[in-house]
């Protein structure tokens, strides 16, 4: 056992970082490690089925942690996405895949099971990949999560219907399956109704009387216990863990639970992907490579088309629909469960099941490359093809022109609106323009670096221009244009960092404010007050730092292109600031002595 653990850890440590550094992601690295050490590689590990079964606990932990991040109120908001998008995706994909299987000569029951299996997507892969890409909170990320949650729910009736499809004497399951389903639903209702109070009581007692290790053990016990309970009544183990996570989402133990279980989740998910790589039957791949490639491409194409169509019908734009289709086009781990049970029920021939499992596995391996294809080719092509026309500015000149309508530009515009000051806002991001317009703001889409747009906006009649663009290069180009063609118009600008600030100062921009400087000062003052410093002393300390840093900014502006001089100036400035604080402390001590 220890030998196998060492092999898994070595494969992960030495192979996965190489794939991540190459930009292929950790999932492909784990799959490659599994292929390398598995039965068709170096044969270091051969008991694939038991490893795959154990590693599925990583998926269980993943669903528990996701549940922790979803408060019940937020889950209720997702109900339409879960049952609307989810049911549409499962139904449409099942229908299309089943039709294809039937046209290839398979019977109705076998075709329906194949369609249902191919409709499933990998919860572990999709959510892990979207999390790595910081896309879980995007629209396609939320829709992907909703569909995956419905798929977990849909597995329950699929498994229950399997013996009915087998029919008569072929069925090896008792006729009381519908009672089992009813029992499962009752358990879910009891978990939702009583689970929150019981879990809070348990963790409250453990937190009060136990150690950190006991808290971790209690967390694992809850996850394993709920998963086993669900499995015992015929439901999905990840579904049970997800419900337990949701029940603890609004508790005071949420963040500690997440921190304690995160390492276990990461390691077991890695083991799951290694096991999937180990399960690839390379012998079958070498025997019928072109047939398998055709089936994998057909599966990816059918699922992508179904997801794209459903998302578009749900009023998503083309980018969201394409990203959703790419994320969920691959197969899922529940397909292995459905196909294995179909083989036991003699609904599908054993040889066909082997082919189906290889197709699902290869689709999982292909899925990360779909993300790369989307990032490197499809997204860029779609941007060029769908570039909208710039707006025509048909209003008279306003006293203020705002370039860039992100967070900074919007706050400035709201304050101007409160005072009844008219402005013209320009933004080069069409997605941002569409979003802001939905909120009722007047904004024009266009390239702010173009002189004809500035003339259309009637910059020459403005009292001042506001440069609120986040992109440093674009901000500098707009400032250059303004200084060259409208040198008498005052420019007020935001700076992303010190270097950006120096370049704006080079262009003689009238007023420059650094993005995070003043918010950091206010936060530092509050922290000092929270540490029981008198309010006046905290304010004096912050003001002293602000004045010193603003003086340093002007001093270093002269030498910012000389790296050695800049470093020397920074070190000297640090010593000066320390001396100022020490002098200030000494004066206050002396003042207290005189007062005494």
pLDDT digits (tens, 9 = 90+) for 532-564: 988 988 998 899 888 888 888 888 887 777 767
> CA–CA separation, 427 vs 227, rounded Å?
50
For residues 58 and 265, is the Cβ–Cβ distance under 8 A? yes
Residue 148 belongs to a domain with what CATH number? 1.20.1530.20
**What is the four-CA torsion angle of 305, 307, 309, 312, rounded to 10 degrees?**
-140
Q: For the chain, give the mean pLDDT.
A: 80
Q: Which ranges of 174-236 would DSSP assign to H, the alpha helix?
A: 177-209, 212-232
297 Cβ contact list (under 8 Å, min separation 6): none
Task: Give the residue-averaged pLDDT of 362-386.
Answer: 77
For 570-591, write each residue's pLDDT tens digit.
Answer: 667 676 666 666 665 555 544 4
- Overall number of domains in the chain: 3
Residue 368 tokens read as: 């990360």
Q: Are residues 334 and 459 in the same domain?
A: no
Task: Note the pLDDT of residue 176.
Answer: 44
Overall average pLDDT of the 25-47 stretch: 81
Per-residue pLDDT tens over the stretch 200-237: 888 888 877 777 788 888 888 888 888 888 878 777 67
Same domain, 439 and 340: no
Domain boundary among 449, 484, 515: 515
Q: What is the pLDDT of residues 181-193, one digit of tens each?
A: 677 778 778 877 7
pTM for this one? 0.56
Do 183 and 244 lie in one domain? The reply is yes
The yes-or-no verdict on residue 159 having pLDDT over 70 is no
Res. 294: pLDDT tops 80: yes
Percentage of the chain modeled with pLDDT above 90: 17
Q: Residues 236, 138: one domain?
A: yes
Cα 520 versus chain centre, distance: 27
Nearest by Cα to 269 from 66, 444, 464, 47: 66
60/238 Cα distance (integer angstroms): 4
Q: Does 521 map to a domain?
A: no
> Does the structure show a pLDDT above 50 at 377?
yes
Provide the terminal-to-terminal Cα distance of the chain, rounded to the nearest Å.
75
**Crossing angle for the helix pair 177-209 and 237-247, nearest 10 degrees?**
40
Q: Are residues 408 and 375 in the same domain?
A: no
Predicted confidence at residue 93, as pLDDT, reads: 94
487 and 596 fall within a common domain: no
**Looking at the domain assignment, is residue 526 inside a domain?**
no
Question: Which is more confidently placed, 384 or 294?
Answer: 294
> Among candidates 118, 119, 116, 123, which has minimal Cα distance to 145?
123
- Provide the CATH number for the domain around residue 449: 3.40.50.720
CA dihedral 556, 559, 564, 568 (to 10 degrees): -30
522 in any annotated domain: no
Rounded to whole angstroms, how far apart are CA atoms 233 and 247? 20
Q: Which of these three, 515, 547, 567, is where a domain ends?
A: 515
Closest by CA position to 136, among listed 85, 84, 65: 65
- Structural domain contains residue 586: yes
Domain ranges, residue 331: 2-382
Query: Would you place residue 388 in the very low, low, confident or very high pLDDT band (cuts 50, 70, 90)?
Result: low
- Segment 380-405 mean pLDDT: 70
């Amino acid at each position: 056992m220890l030998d196998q653990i060492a092999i898994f850890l070595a494969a992960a440590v030495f192979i996965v970082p190489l794939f991540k550094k190459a930009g292929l992601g950790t999932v492909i690295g784990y799959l490659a490690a599994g292929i390398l050490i598995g039965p068709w590689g170096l044969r270091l590990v051969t008991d694939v089925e038991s490893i795959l079964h154990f590693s599925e606990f990583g998926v269980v932990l993943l669903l528990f942690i996701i549940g922790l991040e979803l408060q019940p109120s937020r889950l209720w908001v997702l109900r339409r996405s879960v049952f609307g998008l989810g049911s549409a995706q499962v139904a449409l994909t099942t229908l299309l895949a089943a039709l294809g299987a039937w046209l290839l000569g398979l019977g109705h029951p076998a075709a329906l099971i194949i369609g249902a299996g191919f409709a499933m997507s990998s919860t572990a892969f999709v959510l892990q990949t979207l999390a790595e890409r910081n896309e879980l909170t995007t629209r396609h990320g939320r829709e992907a999560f909703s569909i995956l949650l419905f798929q977990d729910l849909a597995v329950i009736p699929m498994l229950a219907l399997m013996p009915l499809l087998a029919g008569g004497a072929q069925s090896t399951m008792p006729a009381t399956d519908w009672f089992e389903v009813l029992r499962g639903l009752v358990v879910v209702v009891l978990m939702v109704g009583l689970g929150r109070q019981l879990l809070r009581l348990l963790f409250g007692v453990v937190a009060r009387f136990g150690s950190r290790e006991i808290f971790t053990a209690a967390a694992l016990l809850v996850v394993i216990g709920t998963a086993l309970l669900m499995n015992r009544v015929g439901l999905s183990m990840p579904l049970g863990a997800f419900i337990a996570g949701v029940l603890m989402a609004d508790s005071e133990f949420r963040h500690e639970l997440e921190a304690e279980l995160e390492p276990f989740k990461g390691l077991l998910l890695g083991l799951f992907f290694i096991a999937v790589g180990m399960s690839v039957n390379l012998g079958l791949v070498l025997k019928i490579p072109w047939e398998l490639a055709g089936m994998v491409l057909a599966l990816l194409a059918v699922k992508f088309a179904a997801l794209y169509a459903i998302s578009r019908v749900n009023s998503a734009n083309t980018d969201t629909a394409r990203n959703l289709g790419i994320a969920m086009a691959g197969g899922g781990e529940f397909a292995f469960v459905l196909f294995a049970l179909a083989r036991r029920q003699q609904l599908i021939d054993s040889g066909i099941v082997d082919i189906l499992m290889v197709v699902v596995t290869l689709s999982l391996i292909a899925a990360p490359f779909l993300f790369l294809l989307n990032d490197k080719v499809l997204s860029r092509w779609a941007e060029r093809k769908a570039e909208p026309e710039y707006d025509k500015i048909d209003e008279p000149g306003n006293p203020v022109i705002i370039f860039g309508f992100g967070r900074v530009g919007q706050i400035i515009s709201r304050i101007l609106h409160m005072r009844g000051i008219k402005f013209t806002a320009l933004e080069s991001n069409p997605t941002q323009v569409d979003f802001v317009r939905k909120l009722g703001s007047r904004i024009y889409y266009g390239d702010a670096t173009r002189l004809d747009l500035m003339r259309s906006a009637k910059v020459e009649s403005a009292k001042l221009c506001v440069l609120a663009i986040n992109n440093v290069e674009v901000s500098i180009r707009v400032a250059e244009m303004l200084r060259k063609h409208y040198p008498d118009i005052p420019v007020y600008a935001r700076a992303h960092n010190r270097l950006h600030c120096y370049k704006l100062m080079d262009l003689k921009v009238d007023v420059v404010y650094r993005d995070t400087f003043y918010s950091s000062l206010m936060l530092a003052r509050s922290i000092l007050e929270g540490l029981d410093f008198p309010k006046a002393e905290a304010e004096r300390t912050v003001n002293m730092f602000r004045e010193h840093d603003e003086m340093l900014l002007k001093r270093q502006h002269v030498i910012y292109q000389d790296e050695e001089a800049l470093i020397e100036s920074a070190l000297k400035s640090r010593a000066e600031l320390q001396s100022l604080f020490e002098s200030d402390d000494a004066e206050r001590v002396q003042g207290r002595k005189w007062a005494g």
